Structure 1
Amino acid sequence: VYRCETEDLAGRYLSEYTLHRMNVALTDEEKVEYEKNYNVFKDYLASRGIRLTTSVEFQKFVMRSARDRDARQA
């Protein structure tokens, strides 16, 4: 198994970048929308017995979304 981090690719295969994390407060409306969408995601994973504990599993989930409408919705 070969693993490569984005930091390993930056400057050679990817443009240099800087990651900035910012915490923002959501409005009440945004919180409701976020929870609704997050529940769709969680329910999809639970109904299919999918656990996204590795980047490979997440990659498989993304690939599944190409052929599964519910995965795309999630």
Structure 2
Amino acid sequence: VYDKEPGRGTREVLDKYVYGDEKAPPPPDSDNFAIVGGNLETRNKLESTPGAVGPLSTGFVEGRNKLAV
């Protein structure tokens, strides 16, 4: 599982959608979780890690058959 750094636009939009006015929970303490930066880094991680999931802006998914929306 990849997550965006706090303050990233994609992360802020997703947090607002999922948690509303509540604060998002802290990241899990797990070897299967990592914080990534921008959309390009996230896309590269998702494409190179089988079974990976993470938030990604739709503009970075278009034309990439390996990535699902």
- Fold agreement, TM-score > 0.5: no
Q: Higher strand fraction: Structure 1 or Structure 2?
A: 2
**TM superposition score normalised by structure 1:** 0.27
Q: Which has the higher helix share?
A: 1
